[in-house]
Structure 1
């Protein structure tokens, strides 16, 4: 039987297995970084990717829509004095752009191109980051009143002022003026401003291709971003037919460029051995002109091969090239002579 003094007491075993009094504080300090990281992750905005092609296509469709409206408006003034409408072309473009802005962006609706591409403008400054309202990342209010007004001033007013300034400076010949240094200096400022704008537009294009956020400088300054209007709708324009049309147009232009450079008689001689009615062509009427395939009213012969031709056919071929070869025997025609004459 064991000695009672060597057996552990119940109180001693309980004290050795119980955690220390500050164990909860140590565990809290250990799990606090994980809890803070999970809490902070909910504040990160949902990354969304808007197709760059859709944004470019929407801008192109808006330009085409404005051109169609301008064409219809020009037809209205077709009976007016010629050249009168050309003087007010910047005002006409600004008026059409203002109409598109008034009935689209001002009333919180997408432009025609954006509507076809399922896009809308969103105020990126007021876009929600966290909360129950964020589900797809496309949520957010439209443009504010100040953004709409500044957008109209910068796009419609800016384009109008720039076009008028260019036409006025060209009409006054600021660049050719040598007696007025002020005009020459103003022309230099206009050229520098144009160069600076083009450089900044190019830099903004590179940023857009990288991040796909702001297509133009105005959108970047105003924080007006194009996002999808509906996450479950595709764009309404299909470019398959347009791509086929572009391919056929390029192919037809290539043919129109190359065909006049080809010698038809040489092509016929090259394809003659591959024709199926080779025997019929060889046994054809030697009295017919080999070019127009008709009986010559005033027959001429090619020298020295003595083959019959129409005078017009043979004369035009020999005048076109100095080394014309006979269409029958492929021999160089040295001269032409009327048949039966010495």
Structure 2
């Protein structure tokens, strides 16, 4: 078979380089257009738990600080309670957010604050969607002013208005108008907070108004860390505390004599109810120095034990026979 030679000249040696330079801009534009913003889904429960843990941490610090001044004049710290709360909140902010560290609650929930304005949304620097710088200096200062300073000023304003009775002042229209402005501002803040809560539940960003205003978003500090905290021990402690409080409430309402008489048949040692101890007082278990007789059951008691029981209850029942005591009489007198 005869060979057919091509009439086309061979391509130059650097033809592939020219073709690469021609197609490279198209490839770069295609790659940039195919990049998708990585969505970040931060658990809303973790953010609420972190805020709650921060509140509990502040309460623990306040309790320890109050114990230091326990021997001082009573009611002294109550006058400076807003200053004390502001001081503790400032300490938490100073040693956490100001030094680019999470608050105690955020640390337990594996959360940190991120500057959402400077966070990358696409590009080579995006790997997990959790990248981004921390808060700037201006954001940190504004966060301290709005949270620590705002709460202090609002608490002081409320206490001052309540002490001056702005709401009851009818002779001073300026004070009453100021009281109305305070109430309207509080209502407006609660309404805006409720709207922000709805937005947070829908999108999962900016739990508070301050965070939304400053563009300070809570994101995970580490994508591999366990973000769930076990509350098993805390639940057991809460159950035991509630149970003990219920017992402390119910035990004083029970009649001790009736309980002892009810438990006496189940007791292994029944010598206390034997006839040999009939001469002893059934309340203090000792031989009465001044014996008194309870009527109509004729059982011996100490005067003090029987008198106090009958004075405390008009329908006191005998500790031995559970019969109502209607009268008392000293033994040996007619």
Normalising by the smaller structure, the TM-score range is 0.7 to 0.9
User: 132, 135, 150: which is aligned to 1:140?
Assistant: 132
Q: Is the 8 A contact 2:42 2:220 kept in 1?
A: no
Partner SS for 1:308: strand
Cα distance, 1:251 vs structure 2: 1.5
Cα distance, 1:177 vs structure 2: 1.9
1:330 matched to 2:322: yes
Equivalence map 1:174-323=2 (5 Å): 174-234=166-226, 239-278=231-270, 281-323=273-315
Q: Structure 1 residues 278, 86: CA separation in 2 closer, same or farther (over 3 Å shift)? A: closer
CA distance in 2, matches of 1:203, 1:116: 28
TM-score, normalized by length of structure 1? 0.74
Cα distance, 1:265 vs structure 2: 1.2
Q: Structure 1 residues 287, 168: CA separation in 2 closer, same or farther (over 3 Å shift)? A: closer
Greater CA radius of gyration, 1 or 2? 1
CA distance in 2, matches of 1:256, 1:133: 61
Out of 58-67 and 116-125, give the one that drifted further: 58-67
Q: What are the superposed Cα offsets for residues 154-195 of structure 1, whole Å, 9 maximum, x if unpaired?
A: 223322322332233234332222222122111101011112
Cα distance, 1:83 vs structure 2: 8.1
Show the counterpart of 2:18.
Answer: none
Show the counterpart of 1:49.
Answer: 42
Q: Is the 8 A contact 1:48 1:137 kept in 2?
A: no
Out of 57-66 and 179-188, give the one that drifted further: 57-66
The count of residues paired between Structure 1 and Structure 2 equals 304
CA distance in 1, matches of 2:152, 2:137: 22
CA distance in 2, matches of 1:322, 1:227: 67
User: 123, 134, 153: which is aligned to 1:131?
Assistant: 123
Cα distance, 1:71 vs structure 2: 6.8
Show the counterpart of 2:19.
Answer: none
Equivalence map 1:50-199=2 (5 Å): 50-52=43-45, 54-66=46-58, 90-91=82-83, 93-199=85-191
CA distance in 2, matches of 1:261, 1:309: 23
Partner SS for 2:114: strand
CA distance in 2, matches of 1:160, 1:325: 58
Q: What are the superposed Cα offsets for residues 184-227 of structure 1, whole Å, 9 maximum, x if unpaired?
A: 11110101111222233244334444544322111122221111
Partner SS for 1:46: coil
CA distance in 2, matches of 1:274, 1:77: 50
Cα distance, 1:296 vs structure 2: 1.0
Q: Is the 8 A contact 1:58 1:117 kept in 2?
A: yes
Q: Structure 1 residues 282, 66: CA separation in 2 closer, same or farther (over 3 Å shift)? A: closer
TM-score, normalized by length of structure 2? 0.76
Name stretches of at least 5 consecutive residues in structure 2 with no aligned partner. 1-30
CA distance in 2, matches of 1:339, 1:84: 57
Q: What are the superposed Cα offsets for residues 47-90 of structure 1, whole Å, 9 maximum, x if unpaired?
A: 423252x3334334434554566677778999999988776654
Partner SS for 1:243: helix
Q: Is the 8 A contact 1:300 1:338 kept in 2?
A: yes
Cα distance, 1:243 vs structure 2: 3.1
CA distance in 1, matches of 2:259, 2:66: 49
